[in-house]
Structure 1
């Protein structure tokens, strides 16, 4: 209770203590007051009439003392009013209110005096510079008895005087200093002409203390336009400061062992055309012709070398296959001729296997009888040619070829070709 009284006294005293520094306001108030009745009490409430006097320090902050009466209840209090700065100068200005009041209730036989805490919100509507309408809703809380009463008021606020503005001493002009001598710097590189050995340096270039463009890698191309600022000492460079690459293969001249590589070839790190070894398969075919006597399936000594030749080729090519075809002339029974032709083919096959150790799985013998003559069977000479065995060797030989690696053809050329074709088609 003692704390509440002290706080009330401070709020009521503040307007008096600071009145000399701010405008004064007077506000008659009228409204409705509703009382939260304690147990066993009957309190007359209803119309509220009051008068508030305050001190307005700024458009945002004011202190106010207020006295009012509603039926059996009298209120004397002090409040702080705060309005957001963003509404300063506006016709409608909202505010919030907080403070304390001393309430006295005289309703026979119930009598009570208590300190209340007040919280509210309202708005001012400006009519003139000094006159404003005011509306407010307020909650009046009695913490001692845990009661809350409500007050709704309207009023007409009148302001007297003005808010004192701070006064400032007139600003004294700064003493005028004599202009300092500024040495000339014609090219604006930060080095005065008197010390500048390169007085026409292009704007924005890095320069040293002598005013000349910096060249960190000593390639005679200034840093400001050097696209390769770390070129090793002594390497020839182009106008952009990068090492020369005459054949444009991506390997600079000093490292290029093949400095004239054609533009379409891919190179290695030495600048020479890359090559690839491409494996190739060649088909080998060899034929031998062995002639037999009529009705015989015995290989004549004269044909031993032919059999040996085909055997040697088979051994030299491990993937070789030999097909042996047996044939007869048209004399005799066709069935017997076919059997004889098979015997002749088998004779050559077994010679290759037994005498020359050729893999049996790689030798095939087929008898065709007289079905495939190569000469006229009406003559003795023709019949002799038809009594034959043909051995055909087939093999694949693996070889390699070294080829240069070239770049893919440019797409642009292909596109141009298509466009020309379309134009020609349109003309037709």
Structure 2
């Protein structure tokens, strides 16, 4: 009986020991769930695929953040399970394998990385044994240290291509991990591809994962959930470890170097076997009708930049995107009219005006801002006034053709002279028609520019129906008429009193402006006379500004040479009358 009780007691103790031992064993085995891998060996056996990778390194995150639950399971268990499924799916190809962990099961505050397998010739059974020895997750997440250590491990493989596979939640990692990946890429070069498997969905982790992925020239990132099934895991293994043999897509790039092995026939490819897109606009060169489009430009399905107003100037170069159909444009895509004629009302300019009239007439809802830019005079303000003067001539001509006043307004601009250009250089003048909204109100006075006769009214002034400050009906004016000696441009003292009256008038009426127009007789060369007349006008202007403190922007000076005689140049008396400078200054008295 005593012997029987001893046997029974021993059996109970043995059973309890078996229970606890088997319980521990089951607990560890539960990290790796049952899995039936899809066979990918037949791809090698049929020579359809060949090995792409010669060595691989798995960095497995076992830090404390991996103890968190995700989809009802600890993340580290999911991570170990994914690596196990990859291990079970790998085909029989010669590889150097390494399994490195980050984290420390026995130390919550430690920053450690440990190689638990390799680097050594890969063996599926030994790799699985290393995975099953994992106890759990704890410690910090020094991914940067693991990448640095992995760099040294993979450097031992001196030939062939390399794969780094990081399995992590990418949470609570340092940005130094990206720098470590970049340095790894610099050291190992084009041999290296980086693949990321994310366990979880932490947003900051995703951003960090993308930064690490971008450090490598090749590779990609996936979620653990997306490669859980046997079919998806087989696809992952195929993309990472295998490549199509020979040149399966017949693009001229062998599969050992072809990153796009399924390129359709007839498509031009680059050195890596991918469809060529020289200008990186998203349209393959084979279909790209504009293969040199600058980077960043939006293109149509044919690879060409858009030209919405169909003026022949692409939108990214077009500064006037609403030019009407039929309008001639400059290199900036702006509607330009006869840029080489200073006086647009001369006969040579009329065909251009007539063409512009037809375009405006055919667009009844369009208003036009006539912008005349020039550098014919000395100051910026004078050029603006001169441009506006010529613009008014153009407007007047268009109105004689039938366009209403409220559809046309005028602005003048100054063109900066090129530095170092000789004084004799022909002045530059350009005329641009800018289509605009008929409800534009540039000075904010409540009167649309289309009917505003004073489009630059200072803010706060009350205006009339035409957008001008309120004036009495009475209009006042003064006339200036100065004569010059032959071949002279200086202002004679006998006319100082006349100039003083003009200056006093302009002070009395501060909104008044003067245009000094100077002329010559027909003696001498026409080009010389044009310069002489300009000097005469400039001297009168300078005298008014310097002696009576009239703001220079209120006076412009224009020389017309011998082109506008008022008397017969065949007589001395007539020539004397033609050597003149005139101005009519008008103003209205405020209420």
TM-score (norm: length of structure 2): 0.20
Higher relative contact order (CA 8 A, sep 6+): 1
Structure number with bigger Rg = 1
